[in-house]
Amino acid sequence: MIWKIKERQKKWLEGETGTVVKNWGGKVSIALAFPNRYAVGMSNLGFQHVYYALNRYETVVCERVFYPEPEELELIRQSPGHLLSVESQRPLLDFDLVAFSVPFENDYTNLIEMLLLARIPPRAKDRAEVRPLVAAGGVALFLNPEPLADYLDFLFAGEAEPLVPEFLDFLHRLGHGSASRCEILEEMAKSIQGIYVPSLYEPVFREDGTLDTLTPLVPGIPERITVRRADLLTSEPCRTTVFTANTEFSNVMLLEIGRGCGHGCRFCGAGFVYRPVRYHGAEKLLETAAPDCGTNRIGLVSAAVSDHPEIVDLCSSLLDRGGSLSFSSLRADSLDSQLLSALESSEHHAVAIAPEAGSERLRRVINKNLSEDQIYRAAEMLAQRGILNIKLYFMIGLPTETKEDLEAIVTLAKGIHHHVVSGSRGKKRLATVTLSVNSFVPKPFTPFQWTAFAGTVELREKAKWLQKALARVPNIRLHFDLPKWAYVQALLARGDRRVSFFIDKVARGDSNWKQAMRSSPLNPDFWVMRERERDEKFPWEVLDHGVDRNYLWQEYERALEARQSPECRPGKNCKRCGVCGP
């Protein structure tokens, strides 16, 4: 029956352009693994970029591996060892390195299950053979690698651009010598800045369950791992290089125009660990999106696309070539007539705005500095250009949230709908406002790393209340996430090595999350529902992003007082968070 899996993979290959298929002779072989299905992985720009970056080296063969499709999962479970790479359909055990790209915490169990399906012992201490080494990178792990510490031989702590060449250089120097797995890892930890080898650090916990120390076990390795950042001025922009119809962005070239975000929203992990905000120059971006790049549909990607200093010129140059543009995110306060013209000429009928909170007070708490007027104005401007489907992102369970803040979501949604309708006079299509309401999950390295998760009961009640309050309003739709999954995410986001107890049980199919939590001697509420003390040592602080802890605490205090903070402005002699110097 394994032929069915091979057939599926062959079909994927036939439907792709830009795939790299290499001869293996004498090369370092890397299985680049994504712990979710093909369609999800192929929509991920970070995954695509690493595939491209590794395969540019003649001495490397890099092939992709995905979590099995639902109909094939049982087949591979019955026949472990048959988790195969897409390109040459080889088992993972044939590779020198299995490197996972992990953007989301809730995929951790898939990662462990993939190792089991590949017949690779999931815990690092049980792997005796030198090959394959098992590593990972990705934003979820830059925020906190500790829940997966027992499974990984090493972590790429930082961005691929500076790390990949140094890592490959190390592997080539190593050659096919006789060094043991432990010797290789130790040498890697000593010689490459940004490589974290968890087995070389020992955590000690206090009686109250909090972390006491996380100590290096061998001399010559750093106490904290300095996370590596790319210089975007000298590096090539990330872009889609493998096109397939089987993704969310079928036939769209995603193009990263900048990294990080200067707005300092206090809930957003990426806004702190990708500091300072950096941009690629328009000239280089235009070269990357040259007419021969494979498509004329370009999706501009960054935390806030409209913040790019040359965005108007970039959009008009791309549109002058024909084709269309889409944007990963737009801020309501930076929409202007030129950006709207770009949206209009690309025939967008739907745009997302993220107020995140209903009231201006709560938006000050999270430092999302958008006024009600700016949001209404944006909705009206979009409607005037014929964009009548507005998606609004909100969070519930934010620190200090009250009933009035929930009522403000209802008022804002109705107000936006009203402005869209009045801005669309004379247009024939129906105006629709869709609210996507997600549970707030506190993330490491943000000012809210000290705060507690709201809890599933409270979140369900709030969602129910919102549903009722908006039930009779025509043309307003509501989507909610499931608080039980937000609870799991909260556990994995701020957990330490002990949460591997839950990950293991779920990944091995011994129990579902609820059963695993019930059977545990450890109460998961300890990691999820607990407000932390100011001086508590956090497991994720084994990584050093350069963001000063005191700055984060001050931002937390300002949040509780609903005080806004200014934007991050690199190059203006700012030293506020510590990333641009002490």
Question: Rule CB under 6 A: which residues touch ligand SF4?
Answer: 275-276, 568-570, 574-577, 579-580
* Shorter beta-carbon distance to ligand SF4: residue 275 or 364: 275
Q: Both tokens of residue 271? A: 């806004």
| Nearest distance, CB of residue 578 and ligand SF4, angstroms | 6
Cα–Cα distance, 439 to 462 (Å, whole number):
10
| Nearest distance, CB of residue 264 and ligand SF4, angstroms | 7
| Nearest distance, CB of residue 145 and ligand SF4, angstroms | 22
Distance set, CA 117 to CA 67, 83, 84, 120 (Å): 10, 6, 10, 8
* Shorter beta-carbon distance to ligand SF4: residue 134 or 577: 577
CA-based radius of gyration for the chain: 24
Cα–Cα distance, 495 to 502 (Å, whole number):
11
3-state SS class at 106: helix
* Shorter beta-carbon distance to ligand SF4: residue 301 or 577: 577
| Nearest distance, CB of residue 537 and ligand SF4, angstroms | 23
* Shorter beta-carbon distance to ligand SF4: residue 205 or 553: 553
Query: What is the secondary structure of 466-531 as a DSSP string?
Result: HHHHHTTSTTEEEEE--HHHHHHHHHHHS--GGGHHHHHHHHTTS--HHHHHHH-SS-THHHHTPP
| Nearest distance, CB of residue 260 and ligand SF4, angstroms | 8
* Shorter beta-carbon distance to ligand SF4: residue 280 or 348: 280
- Give 176's contacts (C-beta < 8 A, 6+ positions apart): none
Question: Which value, to the nearest 10 degrees, does the dihedral of the CA atoms of residues 520, 523, 526, 529 take?
Answer: 120
| Nearest distance, CB of residue 573 and ligand SF4, angstroms | 9
* Shorter beta-carbon distance to ligand SF4: residue 271 or 358: 271
| Nearest distance, CB of residue 552 and ligand SF4, angstroms | 11
Which residue in the shown chain puts its C-beta closest to ligand SF4?
568
3-state SS class at 267: coil
Give the number of C-alpha atoms closer than 13 A to the C-alpha of residue 489, restricted to the C-beta side: 23
| Nearest distance, CB of residue 576 and ligand SF4, angstroms | 4
* Shorter beta-carbon distance to ligand SF4: residue 278 or 364: 278
- Give 289's contacts (C-beta < 8 A, 6+ positions apart): 239, 253, 255, 298, 318
Question: Which value, to the nearest 10 degrees, does the dihedral of the CA atoms of residues 361, 365, 367, 369 take?
Answer: 0
Neighbours of 170 (CB within 10 A): 15
**Of 353, 361, 456, which is closest to residue 399 (Cα–Cα)?**
361
* Shorter beta-carbon distance to ligand SF4: residue 262 or 397: 262
* Shorter beta-carbon distance to ligand SF4: residue 333 or 567: 567
Distance set, CA 308 to CA 53, 232, 302 (Å): 24, 13, 9
| Nearest distance, CB of residue 247 and ligand SF4, angstroms | 33
Cα–Cα distance, 557 to 396 (Å, whole number):
20
| Nearest distance, CB of residue 192 and ligand SF4, angstroms | 24
| Nearest distance, CB of residue 272 and ligand SF4, angstroms | 9
Q: Where are the beta strands (DSSP E) in 89-224?
A: 97-101, 133-137, 154-156, 195-196, 201-205, 211-216
Contact 559, 447 (CB under 8 A): yes
Neighbours of 326 (CB within 10 A): 18
* Shorter beta-carbon distance to ligand SF4: residue 173 or 563: 563
* Shorter beta-carbon distance to ligand SF4: residue 56 or 569: 569
Cα–Cα distance, 46 to 52 (Å, whole number):
10
| Nearest distance, CB of residue 320 and ligand SF4, angstroms | 34
* Shorter beta-carbon distance to ligand SF4: residue 276 or 423: 276
Q: Both tokens of residue 517? A: 């939590």
3-state SS class at 180: coil
